[in-house]
Structure 1
Amino acid sequence: MAEDDTEMRDGEAADEEHMMYGHGAMTEEELNEKYPNRPHNHSKSLPFHDLFLTLFNPLNDNKKKPTGPVMARQKQGPHGPRTSPNDMRRLIIERFISRWRKEVGSDIYPAFRLIVPEKDRDRGMYGLKEMILGKLLIRVMKIDRNSEDGYNLLHWKLPGVKASSAMAGDFAGRCFEVISKRPMRTTPGNMTIAEVNELLDRLSVAQKEENQQPIIEEFYKRMNAEELMWLVRMILRQMKVGATEKTIFDVWHPDAENLFNISSSLRRVCWELYDPEVRLEGDDRGICLMQCFQPQLAAFQMRSMEQMVAKMNQTEEDPFFWIEEKLDGERMQLHMVEDDSVPGGLRFCFWSRKAKDYTYLYGNGFHDEKAALTRHIKEAFDDGVRNIILDGEMITWDPREDTVVPFGTLKTAALSEQNNPFSTGNRPLYRVFDCLYLNDVNLTRYTLRKRREALTASVKSIHRRLEIHDFHEARQASEIEPLLRQVVAEASEGLVLKNPRSEYRLNERNDDWIKVKPEYMTEFGEALDCVVIGGYYGSGHRGGRLSSFLCGLRVDETHVSQGANPQKCWSFFKVGGGFAAGDYAEIRHCTGGKWIDWDVKNPPNQWIELGGQDRQYERPDVWIKPEDSIVIAVKAASVGGSDQFRLGLTLRFPRFKKLRADKDWTSSLSVTEFLALKNRAEDEKKDKQFKVDDARKKRSGRKRKREVVIQGQEDDVKTPYAGPATKVFEGLSFFIVTDALKPVKKSKADLEQLVKANGGNVVASEKDPSTIIIADRNLVKVASLQKRDERNMIRPSWLFDCVRQSELDIGRPSLLLPFEPHHLFYTITSEAGRYDDNVDEYGDSYARDVTADELLALFNRMPAKIKDDYDSAEVLDQLNEHGHELDAMPGCMFHGLTVYCEHGVAAEAKSLLEFANGRILSSLGEVELTHVVVPKNSAKLRDVRKAIASKQRQPRVVEEAWVTDSWREKTLLDEERYAPL
């Protein structure tokens, strides 16, 4: 190559690098300072379409090749032994990486950002899910949303109108079908990987739909249908490329997975490990300060408590295991290091389990004025602590009730604490259960017991701000059940069993920590026989088929209205967990041809009543008449209130148990029968006299804070005013013209007493222009004032709101609330609309805390703008993001297991492994192998053990009955019982 050509290519590569990295959180100069030895490419990046033409598509084709016995029969080809799918997978990835190194350079980060986008923490979330993306594409392609293609795009889970049923449940595939009919390009475009990254950076910053649409439009103009399909998968971070990130990391560099586990940084994996010959050594292989790592996770519980305790590896010298309460919050790691540039000399960082940086929320130092946590924990650390890394759970605490607030309110509480550090509202509480780094020493190789000693020596609890999480030391399995019953009684998350002799293992889910959730246990709750009244189409491998069902209770004589349909049912719960492939097949057999599409404009109210009446909460995709339907037995953890279902109650964590072929709809559970069952269960629960912890007893016995009730807000005054309750009206004069009609009726005298009790002055005339006029009825005096059009008149509800807000903000200066539109009985012409900006578009106040009744009224007034956008998969993604392990369902029991099946293993066992999310490997030599399944009395057992003897991490060898028995019991059974002799 000529020298000037080389210079030209280097210049293009530099321009491209500036384009890619010049729009991020760090400038190019900052990147060079932080990563002085990072690689630089010598040429422009590859075309975007090369990703799927040379990597994704070949990997997916390879995934479809036969495995197991079929593959064994096909290993010999006409020209010798054939390459196994695993070896071929690695070869495909190696070819792509080798080509990148040769044609582009050593910086593969731009490509990896698109190959494993879910691991890229440097690019923000797009704020786009399937429904919004579908709407954007409809606008970009200028098609009618009510047309066949528009409908198919917005209802991508349904089989569709003249659409491929194979694409149902696959949003990217549905996009491909629709775009293929009207592409701007029929051949792959000319966009490079760098250009795609630059546009995706802009898309993540845009956030609002009107700003994102031009970017999607540019992609549409420059890409063909297949390119756009893969782009959609990258945006949704649902790639399905036929290889795991572990395999891709391993091909890139032998230390890549380890570096990602300790840093959570794809950028570092690419920039520090670009040379396969340079290995991580010493401290580089462990966690570091101010560097987010992938935390250890708890394994799913086993069938019995005895089996779980057996995994704790107790010894005669140390026969104990630990039991901790499982907290319902967000996993959070805290890093603290000495830093003179921060006031107070100590700097903090906080990261979630998914490596999201929450330092902006919880604080970077003791003197951070926007800190929801750090400014309250100045006394938490011993004077000798120079640096530390803590592992724990951030939960929401209600100081008024002195109790944990359920999952879902943490960020709201933290934002409130930022703005109102002395409020009595909900606030974040950090519960610490592990110390992983202390004064420059990595503690992950120490036992949990030693780490706990380091924790208690270096950290002390700050009441209801930062607390060391308690544990119970136990010896026997019998000690678990009383604690589990206690957490069930208190509606807690469950328990975690921990081995105090264990090390901390990054990004692993192993038997050293085992979660015990009440919803998994067989001891609690009853199986309820309910009729199926609706169905929901699934996504992914369940696309195009009904994967979950709406169940109802039969409306009996006690609740049915005169002349109503005797088959009428009330919606009660949705269930999608616990179904086997055979269960789905049986349901399809029994209900085939009887399902009816749900018509939003003409719902079948004579048959089915949903929650929310006209709002149709939990609306199914299809429905079925009870007489044509089936009855299923469902088990659940508990019953809770919910306005999403017509009954007003629903099941918590429902799970399918079996199909009740012996029952029809007339013998399914009725509303009256269920309510009687619920009442009986509650009575039995009281009789069991659950043991309550000492802290709870102390709370129940302590003197309650004096409850001040605003006169005019409640009919019964619990505590009379003795002098001003607040000073909110101090210095103000009020002319009370009428009594109060809303929210409750109160006389003029009551209103005057309220004003005086809160520091205000009552006058008999409105002559002073500064006097506030209070009116709620159109009397003669009020009409006269209106006619003059000189003074606003305020409703008494404003007085009530001001006093109530001041009572809530006790300890802070009393502040008058700004007027809201509903506070004005009359507004003068010159000020019409002046106060509209004090509430949002739905009437929610920006300045005060609304009551529960007001909030419900707000929701009722809101238009159902996004009812078609409801996506249960999105809710499941969010739960999983916050640590609620959804893959514990029986249908996913083999998730995370990579299994080799020896010749002779029955087809049933293999089918169960694949159906329940296990992955069957083609050879014993694969790195990620976790289990080897052999037939009973296998003649090749010795050969199998010899083949795996050299593996660093030994896979478990089990007989095939382990698979079928685990499926039958709906949980993974102990492998020891199935070890071949």
Structure 2
Amino acid sequence: MSSQRAPRHIDKEAREDDDLQYGHGPLSKEELEAKYPNRPLNHHKTLPFHELLVSLFTPLSENKKKPTGPSAAGRAKRGPHGPTHQSPHEVRRIIIERFISRWRSEVGHDFYPALRLIIPEKDRDRAMYGLKEKTIGRLLVKLMKIDKNSEDGYNLLNWKLPGQTFASRMAGDFAGRCFEVLSKRPMRTSMGNMRIAEVNQLLDQLSSAPKEEAQLPIFQIFYNRMNADELMWLIRIILRQMKVGASEKTFLDLWHPDGETLFNVSSSLRRVCWELTDPSIRLEGNETGVTLMQCFQPQLAQFQMHSFQRMVDNMRPTPEDTEFWIEEKLDGERMQMHMVEDDSVPGGRRFGFWSRKAKDYTYLYGSGIEDENGAITRHLKKAFDSGVRNLILDGEMITWDPEADIMVPFGTLKTAALSEQRNPFAGNGPRPLFRIFDIIYLNDEPLTQYTLRDRRRALERCITNVYRRFEVHSYTSAHSVEAIEPLLRKVVAEASEGLVLKNPRSIYRLNSRNDDWMKVKPEYMTGFGESLDCIIIGGYYGSGHRGGRLSSFLCGLRVDQNHIQKGADPMKCYSFFKVGGGFKAEDYANIRHHTENKWVDWDPRKPPIHLIELAGGEAQFERPDVWIKPCDSVVVSVKAASVCASDSFRVGLTLRFPRFKHLRMDRDWSTSLSIQEFINLKSRLEEESREKEFTVDTRRKAAKTSKKQLLVAGNDNKATKPYAGHGSDAFHGLNFCVLSEATKLPKRSKAELEQFIKANGGSIFQSPTIQADTIVIADKKVVKVASLIKSGLQNVVRPRWLFDAVQQHEIDLGREGQLVPFEPRHMFYTVQHEVERIQQNVDRFGDSYGRDVGPAELKEICDDMPKEELGSGVETDALLSQLQGQHHDLGLRDMKGFMFSDFHAYIASWQRGQGVVDLGEDDLRCLLVEHKLRFGLASVISDLEDASITHIVVQEGVDKLKSIREKISHRKVVPRIVTLEWVEDSWREGTLLDEDRYAPRG
């Protein structure tokens, strides 16, 4: 379908508007004209910005407050002569249609300037502003020159807290709170005179302004030319939080019947407005499908609060075909990849990457196979079948840790991609991995109308996996609901996101949530948690409809009396978890009733550490907005999916997916769960853990709950093998957490290590907790070990120490109550401040001061001792030759006599063959450099044509540099060119310095 051509008559102001809004965006005016030669041009200037408020935003917002549903529809039909009034749905359509009609008649057919302000969250052409409520609040405080500690300043910067004089409806509504402050000190009281085109121009400038200093002048213009109402809606546009009571589907459909269809396949408001100018001209069939290098709106998974059987039944199985697929839900970013053959690109293939929200990530993952910044594409030379000319893939971009061979949480994805750009073949750091689960387009044909089963066959024939970089996501074929339970239990044990159930008979439906794809997350399930009765110690204010009220709470564990320091308050609690789900209106009302007038604002400068202790020290992790004394608070019963380690809460552990069940008014702070009670409960449940069936939690009311078993992460590896040997009390009173098997002799499984510890008097925990003084045992960098090492808070001890400690205990029973101290050989990871102390437990050769060393270990120590003197009869030349060949393994690079071994150096620009007394200052310097190279076992080459040259050493500013580069440019291995200073400085420092820092200029 072709675009409607621009009208012939265009007034001067319309041209000015066009230049304003299209001359400062990501594309220049010339680029726009070339890309969209037939784009519509408005024949008059755009409407004033305040017309959006008067004609659209305010009427729609007021209409939103009217009741909807069957009762409203019924009332609309009463009356002897037809409806007495229209339903809110009809009124909404009339408001939008009236505005669109006015735009067409008074402005023209280019609706894009208005639409990108009406639904800014769908505008992909304007970059993100990088502005959040806090930053805008600071800008307004500076703009109006008010004290940040004044009532208005405080309320702008703490917008979630109830204001001292504001109406409660404004709490949690940042734009509304801005209106209250701005209306007290406006630059103008009447509507402003800014046109929509001018607003778009300034918003483009705002999106490209790097810092607050550059953003402030732009806000100053808005402030000078808009009243408080206009500024309130402008802030909502910037924050992309409109909520006017009409969805983008409604606006797009009322602009053109095919508006939503084109947006789903292009994610472009610009295309919708510029290609669909006449509602009577419809899209043709080939224009409604996905196209290459045009970001589409992907199909999404539906969440179902039904039984597993209901979920499977909703996939419309037949007696002949009952199959459904189960995939692991990945914790990453939804990503679509487009690939097309293009001979103009190095490598012959051009790529594009877009997120679910249509953000272009091609700069990060690569535009071509030879793209040096391509964190993904540079690894795809052999990833596609030879018959593939172009395709579109749908999948998830995740972060993969190759050392632990595990998926890393989503928040690290961009960091991993940037690291991969800088060092693509390092092999040991986290990297992006694209997991593909669907193919949408292949060799010029959209595949959305084919079944998932057929699309999957095509995908598997097109793609060759690139290990841990580019892989087809696996699935499990199932025919009954019994297959779901073990897989869900497995992903919960591995702390994964959950599952997705898919219908293999389904087509791909753009921008749709339906029963063909259904997600099942562990937090939606029952049977995974025991109800824990914890005390509320803090609260957090909500936003939106929960604005101005406490919507979530910080819960703590009571510190046991034996852990209370002398003189400390006995009510002290440690932060444990936050909970905000599961509350009903009456639950909030009950909590509010029992705690009214007892909340205190949290002052970061004077935290109530005598009563409430947070994690992070002065950083105060998970700091609440308000706090309450435990004796004034209430106890809540909370259920969780599992327990996991956390640095964000003082206990060192937290609950995964906590949900409120009910208030425990029969308990007070003194009978709420304490730290030791929780540890004992956790330990007992790990010991008594058994398989239980579970179902989906469909209950809406907080019914009377029975105690459910608490799943603690890691209890699936519970010890079952008996300890084959006699026991002792060597580990009496000690707590252990075993995270991996012993990989070195004596090799033992995780279960056998746990039984060994128990037989010698130790206690086992499945999660490390600082509160219980746990000794963490591991020989491999598994997930939890990697997490502990990253935190840097806890030692990780090798299993070898267990055997050494018990053996020494049996040898020397007289040293009662003492254990073998940790030695360097015992440590898998040592926290920084203990490295020196542990090193002091052995002598300089590694011989232990605290235990008897056996013959085998003594031989190891002797073998590792450095040979300080050479015996007689040693052939020096033979020894040097042997050492030169092994300098890498023996670490001899730091010895000056081996520093430049294996180097073949050519020194440019000096005259050999003269006597030393005849040499000039520069030539003498070159001679000294040559001597240093030779002494460091480098070979000095006299002919530049020699192909073995690895380094060319030049004087800074040498005039032959250009010709030297031309001579070596054709070589397969190009030598490094460095200055004389590189050799001199390396010699002086006694180690090879970075060659890049000594590259000659010019």
The TM-score normalised by the length of structure 2 is: 0.69
CA distance in 2, matches of 1:15, 1:155: 41
Larger Rg computed on CA atoms: 2
SS at match of 1:645: coil
2:303 is matched with which residue? Answer: 300
1:514 is matched with which residue? Answer: 518
CA distance in 2, matches of 1:571, 1:237: 34
**1:358 Cα deviation after fit:** 0.5
Which AA in structure 1 matches 2:301? A
Instruction: Check the 8 A contact 2:824/2:839 in 1, yes or no.
Output: no
SS at match of 1:512: strand
**1:664 Cα deviation after fit:** 2.1
Matching of residues 723-802 of structure 1 within 5 Å: 757=891, 759-761=893-895
2:497 is matched with which residue? Answer: 493
Change (3 A) 1:587 1:704: closer
Which AA in structure 2 matches 1:186? T
SS at match of 1:317: coil
Which AA in structure 2 matches 1:654? P
**1:658 Cα deviation after fit:** 1.6
CA distance in 2, matches of 1:46, 1:515: 45
CA distance in 2, matches of 1:510, 1:340: 40
**1:78 Cα deviation after fit:** 10
CA distance in 1, matches of 2:575, 2:116: 44
Change (3 A) 1:101 1:301: same
CA distance in 2, matches of 1:527, 1:455: 45
1:533 is matched with which residue? Answer: 537
1:665 aligns with 2:669: yes
**1:38 Cα deviation after fit:** 1.5
SS at match of 2:563: coil
1:426 aligns with 2:430: yes
SS at match of 2:636: strand
1:353 aligns with 2:351: no
1:371 aligns with 2:505: no
Which AA in structure 2 matches 1:44? K
Which AA in structure 1 matches 2:316? N
CA distance in 2, matches of 1:561, 1:815: 65
- Which sections of structure 1, spanning at least 5 residues, go unmatched? 1-5, 706-712, 721-739, 764-812, 817-826, 828-837, 839-845, 847-981
Change (3 A) 1:179 1:330: same
**Backbone CA RMSD of aligned residues:** 3.4
Instruction: Check the 8 A contact 1:461/1:468 in 2, yes or no.
Output: yes
1:914 is matched with which residue? Answer: none
1:399 is matched with which residue? Answer: 402
CA distance in 2, matches of 1:681, 1:30: 66
**1:75 Cα deviation after fit:** 5.1
1:340-399: CA deviations, max 9, x gaps?
Answer: 211122111011111111111111111111110111011110000001111111111111
Instruction: Select which of 132, 136, 141 maps to 2:139.
Output: 136
1:69 is matched with which residue? Answer: 71
CA distance in 2, matches of 1:359, 1:304: 41
Instruction: Check the 8 A contact 2:76/2:87 in 1, yes or no.
Output: no
**1:279 Cα deviation after fit:** 0.8
Change (3 A) 1:749 1:690: closer
**1:587 Cα deviation after fit:** 1.4
Instruction: Check the 8 A contact 1:489/1:690 in 2, yes or no.
Output: no
SS at match of 2:238: helix
Change (3 A) 1:535 1:434: same
Instruction: Select which of 259, 264, 268 maps to 1:265.
Output: 268
2:708 is matched with which residue? Answer: none
Which AA in structure 2 matches 1:309? V
Instruction: Check the 8 A contact 1:9/1:44 in 2, yes or no.
Output: no
CA distance in 2, matches of 1:435, 1:620: 46
Instruction: Select which of 269, 277, 280 maps to 2:280.
Output: 277
**1:10 Cα deviation after fit:** 2.0
Instruction: Check the 8 A contact 1:294/1:353 in 2, yes or no.
Output: yes
2:506 is matched with which residue? Answer: 502
1:639 is matched with which residue? Answer: 643
Change (3 A) 1:131 1:747: farther
1:960 is matched with which residue? Answer: none
1:103 is matched with which residue? Answer: 106
Which AA in structure 1 matches 2:620? Q
CA distance in 2, matches of 1:7, 1:301: 55
Instruction: Check the 8 A contact 1:126/1:207 in 2, yes or no.
Output: no
1:468 is matched with which residue? Answer: 472
SS at match of 2:369: coil
Change (3 A) 1:9 1:814: closer
CA distance in 2, matches of 1:486, 1:748: 47
**1:642 Cα deviation after fit:** 2.2
Instruction: Check the 8 A contact 2:493/2:716 in 1, yes or no.
Output: no
1:316 is matched with which residue? Answer: 319
Instruction: Select which of 432, 439, 444 maps to 1:435.
Output: 439
Instruction: Check the 8 A contact 2:97/2:254 in 1, yes or no.
Output: yes
2:384 is matched with which residue? Answer: 381
Instruction: Check the 8 A contact 2:631/2:668 in 1, yes or no.
Output: yes
SS at match of 2:552: strand
1:830 is matched with which residue? Answer: none
Change (3 A) 1:228 1:79: farther
Instruction: Select which of 157, 170, 173 maps to 1:167.
Output: 170
The TM-score normalised by the length of structure 1 is: 0.71
Q: Judge which range, 116-125 or 153-162, deviates more.
A: 153-162
CA distance in 1, matches of 2:616, 2:659: 24
1:83 is matched with which residue? Answer: 86
Which AA in structure 2 matches 1:426? P
Which AA in structure 1 matches 2:36? Y
**1:515 Cα deviation after fit:** 0.8
Which AA in structure 1 matches 2:894? G
1:582 aligns with 2:586: yes
Change (3 A) 1:704 1:186: closer
**1:84 Cα deviation after fit:** 1.7
Change (3 A) 1:109 1:747: farther
1:91-135: CA deviations, max 9, x gaps?
Answer: 111111111111111001000110000000000000000001100
**1:758 Cα deviation after fit:** 5.1
SS at match of 1:487: helix
1:538-597: CA deviations, max 9, x gaps?
Answer: 111111111111111111223222232222211111111111112111212222222222
CA distance in 2, matches of 1:395, 1:687: 26
Instruction: Check the 8 A contact 1:75/1:84 in 2, yes or no.
Output: no
Instruction: Check the 8 A contact 2:76/2:86 in 1, yes or no.
Output: no
1:152 is matched with which residue? Answer: 155
2:18 is matched with which residue? Answer: 17
CA distance in 2, matches of 1:814, 1:679: 61
**1:80 Cα deviation after fit:** 5.5
Question: Percent identical across equivalent pairs?
Answer: 64
**1:165 Cα deviation after fit:** 1.7
1:116-167: CA deviations, max 9, x gaps?
Answer: 0000000000000000110011011111000000001011111112222220
2:40 is matched with which residue? Answer: 39
Instruction: Check the 8 A contact 2:64/2:244 in 1, yes or no.
Output: no
1:55-105: CA deviations, max 9, x gaps?
Answer: 100111112223343563465579852222111111111111111111111
1:238 is matched with which residue? Answer: 241
CA distance in 2, matches of 1:369, 1:22: 32
Change (3 A) 1:814 1:621: farther
Change (3 A) 1:473 1:566: same
Change (3 A) 1:70 1:352: closer
SS at match of 1:558: helix
CA distance in 1, matches of 2:120, 2:353: 22
SS at match of 1:356: coil
2:929 is matched with which residue? Answer: none
Instruction: Check the 8 A contact 2:397/2:434 in 1, yes or no.
Output: yes
1:302-356: CA deviations, max 9, x gaps?
Answer: 3322222222222222121111111111111111111121112211101111111
